[in-house]
Structure 1
């Protein structure tokens, strides 16, 4: 790996720059949802075009993550990070000034590409800037920053939308990334020593395949999962991804080195954010709707209740990182975090339309603690398995698993929820209305009972997925005796002993 001369590197400023970027990108995801009503009123739109303010961002964000990460290893991680931050800022400014919903959706798609560059390179920059205990602390801070952005996004967006209008929300995102760009010059450049040409064919096939798969999942609830359009998108996505794997196996300079995926411990750590999506992110999306619709809370009150779950995400990552640096097993912490998702989701089935907040406080805190621990340990441990030459590729793949699973799982969870509600209320259209928090289409008590029944079943299913994930990931992270003398470049290589994986 080649880097800038040591004199150019400013580790403290590097950390601040990356943290601010990782604060802003999740804020743009959660905050934009709050701005949707104002956007719809101002631009006279509703339905699918309005929802694509979110979908366009998530689609490009997930699809370009691996491409930008692998590109960063070749052309430079700082350069790619800066390009991503610039695209994000330009897209946010364009969104703030958009005169129509079509241009707003395009601006959000551009911001999603920029966000992919930021996320794919930010972790790689920290992995090549810090080592040992300092790296663990840096990634713990990264987890706190991302959690803070996710938690603060709705609140800040609500304040701005109420006081200055929805355009101020995107203006704030642009301003924060402009600040990030002013500090990029203090970040040391790093890239792989060997710089083969980018696998353009692999990049095109991967973006098209993952994009089709995510698009099919996003459109599934609206078009119907058995509709020809959704089935064609899902089949095309899976087929193109299979072609991508075949291309990478034969490529001399692959976009994704398949040895990363064959390393069971690295792959297991990449599955941690997938389980987190099931156990935590789905609740961030659908629990406020339940609290408003079935529970009768105001949107502001529901957001306050959600702080019980998002608060620990801000506090737990540094604690988890500190425990690892003191010799506590990272494998044990990761397994415990996933077990917390399982227990918390099962426990949350105590919820009902009139359940006191004190009753659901316990499960919400437990779920939030699980998320905070996994945010603080998982990514840093994954990067400890990867040599610096492939840091961008590794973070790109890791975050592709994270963002791609969020787009797909949230769509599927919503479709399952609507289907379960439909078994109690009879009408699919009414079920979709109830799942969106609108209980005005019938007897409110009956609809609230149907919503509660569906949510309980979904929570039990989520708990089961998280429990299975916890067991499988713990088993994959176990270090066989034969691996003790292996080197980090080999399959199933152990993490450095100072990370405390075992």
Structure 2
């Protein structure tokens, strides 16, 4: 049972949707805006390559680790309350990041940002689930999903503008006025809701969850850096240095597996004893929830593959700056927002799973189209329609798949359900980044090495060029092309990086095809009509 205030007016509900969507935009933009600001941060703070990785990944690591915990806490202590706390933590830590005088303090601020972001994402979903019903819920989820897809593309544009015209510090500082706006809007428009029978928190389960997802995401993100089995680079944390020939990555995966088994055993024991658990295992008895989470994980493997590799290719091969790259990626945002209007119009008329499948089909088409366009001599104009199609697919699939996953979850468990599906997506995204990053850089290195060898370059020189291009993520290409002595190698690097980008795009399309196939395990979907009654709708 859920403790809910008197129903809000229709106008107030839609105003609440605006501020909830802005809260989602806050964390999505921040997760992408930093990528284009990194070069300026390096110049200003003098951080090394290891610190660069942690600036980018500290947020993701903490964020994914805490989603499940904060989803459960939202149900027990109040969804609006936890959202407000999360926004406050995120805003204050953003201010600390914006004023950080050193790389160490910037990384620490990013860790704290991850805590705030993990409070915000599942809470926004559970608030939508508790506030909207019937056709309105489908529209709300469409707006929420399109915000995620659109803001993922707006982030690089905003970051490029702020970094180019002002300072990298404004990439974090802009969160301060946005945070104040969100807090004021949520207090004015969003009603509080929580589980009526609050029974405390499963502390042991929470700790096991943090260990499980923290080590899993660490392994997925860092596998290419430190080696999937044998250590290729020394892992350091403060004064500690990894002393073994075995990479820390399989150790991290082993700890994650052990924590997963311990979590299941612990949850079953507490459930049999009638005590609260971090995640109600009964949720996985719900067909749409169980199969929907599997589909969401697989789809997330390929859903944002373009955003991983395309900005690098646009800047380092075609020569665009950060702001120009952001403008090109804006087509993705446009397609996503365009899709939200269509999804809203179709709500109550078409089965949500049919919209998911249509969205995935558009994503596949957009990614394949992009892969076919990627060439060193490509014109950016051919990318815009491809990204528009891809963005429309993201806008349709993301929100409607979320709706399918949560449609049969009891409202009093919506925080746990939201946290679980968000975790599934984050783990899928981390796995996708690891795989697509490996495809991009491994294939770039292999193709470039072969072309240099064919051109008669010595093995030592070829290895030096390949290492420079791969380790710099393509940034070394411009210098190679500009120097007459290495211009030929630079052109080979442009072609190889284009091939790597294309292979990464096709790999992402493959994952999306598997996700499309997985969506058929959802079968028919249950849809609520405007009166709130449930009725079955055949799958398309």
Shared fold per TM-score greater than 0.5: yes
2:308 matches 1:263: no
Per the alignment, residue 183 of structure 2 pairs with 181
Where does 1:83-122 land on structure 2 (aligned, <5 Å)?
Answer: 83-122=85-124
**Equivalent of 1:192, from 191, 195, 216?**
195
Conserved? CA contact 2:288–2:522, under 8 Å: yes
Aligned length: 489
Conserved? CA contact 1:279–1:341, under 8 Å: no
Where does 1:308-347 land on structure 2 (aligned, <5 Å)?
Answer: 308-325=331-348, 327-347=349-369
For residues 267 and 436 of structure 1, the distance between their equivalents in structure 2, rounded to whole angstroms, comes to 40
Q: From the superposition, tell whether residues 453 and 148 of structure 1 become closer, same or farther in structure 2 (CA, over 3 Å).
A: closer
What is the CA distance between 1:179 and its match in structure 2?
A: 1.7
2:412 matches 1:410: no
For residues 185 and 365 of structure 2, the distance between their equivalents in structure 1, rounded to whole angstroms, comes to 42
2:233 matches 1:241: no
**Equivalent of 1:217, from 214, 220, 234?**
220
2:491 matches 1:445: yes
2:129 matches 1:127: yes
For residues 327 and 537 of structure 2, the distance between their equivalents in structure 1, rounded to whole angstroms, comes to 36
2:138 matches 1:143: no
For residues 311 and 280 of structure 1, the distance between their equivalents in structure 2, rounded to whole angstroms, comes to 16
Provide the alpha-carbon RMSD of the alignment: 2.5
For residues 33 and 347 of structure 1, the distance between their equivalents in structure 2, rounded to whole angstroms, comes to 25
Per the alignment, residue 167 of structure 1 pairs with 169
Q: From the superposition, tell whether residues 451 and 383 of structure 1 become closer, same or farther in structure 2 (CA, over 3 Å).
A: same
- The alignment's TM-score, normalised by the length of structure 2, stands at 0.84
What is the CA distance between 1:271 and its match in structure 2?
A: 4.0
What is the CA distance between 1:119 and its match in structure 2?
A: 0.7
What is the CA distance between 1:185 and its match in structure 2?
A: 2.6
For residues 171 and 278 of structure 2, the distance between their equivalents in structure 1, rounded to whole angstroms, comes to 35
2:12 matches 1:3: no
For residues 272 and 310 of structure 1, the distance between their equivalents in structure 2, rounded to whole angstroms, comes to 23
Q: From the superposition, tell whether residues 149 and 498 of structure 1 become closer, same or farther in structure 2 (CA, over 3 Å).
A: farther
- The alignment's TM-score, normalised by the length of structure 1, stands at 0.90
Q: From the superposition, tell whether residues 250 and 349 of structure 1 become closer, same or farther in structure 2 (CA, over 3 Å).
A: same
Conserved? CA contact 1:66–1:397, under 8 Å: yes
Gaps of 5+ in 2: 232-246, 450-462, 481-485
For residues 391 and 185 of structure 2, the distance between their equivalents in structure 1, rounded to whole angstroms, comes to 32
Q: From the superposition, tell whether residues 446 and 162 of structure 1 become closer, same or farther in structure 2 (CA, over 3 Å).
A: closer
The answer to which of 148-157 and 392-401 deviates more is 148-157
The answer to which of 223-232 and 352-361 deviates more is 352-361
**Equivalent of 2:508, from 457, 462, 476?**
462
2:377 matches 1:354: yes
For residues 214 and 114 of structure 2, the distance between their equivalents in structure 1, rounded to whole angstroms, comes to 12
Per the alignment, residue 22 of structure 1 pairs with 24
Per the alignment, residue 34 of structure 2 pairs with 32
Conserved? CA contact 1:335–1:473, under 8 Å: yes
**Equivalent of 1:429, from 464, 467, 482?**
467
What is the CA distance between 1:247 and its match in structure 2?
A: 1.8
What is the CA distance between 1:323 and its match in structure 2?
A: 0.9
**Equivalent of 1:205, from 196, 204, 208?**
208
2:535 matches 1:497: yes
What is the CA distance between 1:275 and its match in structure 2?
A: 4.1
For residues 395 and 499 of structure 1, the distance between their equivalents in structure 2, rounded to whole angstroms, comes to 23
What is the CA distance between 1:89 and its match in structure 2?
A: 1.2
Q: Deviations over 1:75-120 (max 9, x none)?
A: 1111111111111112111111212111111111111111111111
Per the alignment, residue 492 of structure 1 pairs with none
What is the CA distance between 1:466 and its match in structure 2?
A: 1.4
Gaps of 5+ in 1: 488-494
What is the CA distance between 1:287 and its match in structure 2?
A: 0.6
SS of aligned partner of 1:497: strand
For residues 468 and 43 of structure 2, the distance between their equivalents in structure 1, rounded to whole angstroms, comes to 24
Conserved? CA contact 2:159–2:171, under 8 Å: yes
Conserved? CA contact 2:369–2:386, under 8 Å: yes
What is the CA distance between 1:238 and its match in structure 2?
A: 2.3
SS of aligned partner of 1:64: helix
For residues 309 and 279 of structure 1, the distance between their equivalents in structure 2, rounded to whole angstroms, comes to 15
Q: From the superposition, tell whether residues 168 and 459 of structure 1 become closer, same or farther in structure 2 (CA, over 3 Å).
A: closer
Per the alignment, residue 299 of structure 1 pairs with 322
Conserved? CA contact 2:309–2:501, under 8 Å: no
The answer to which of 8-17 and 119-128 deviates more is 8-17
What is the CA distance between 1:140 and its match in structure 2?
A: 1.5
For residues 287 and 312 of structure 2, the distance between their equivalents in structure 1, rounded to whole angstroms, comes to 38
For residues 50 and 327 of structure 2, the distance between their equivalents in structure 1, rounded to whole angstroms, comes to 28
Per the alignment, residue 452 of structure 2 pairs with none
The answer to which of 404-413 and 49-58 deviates more is 404-413
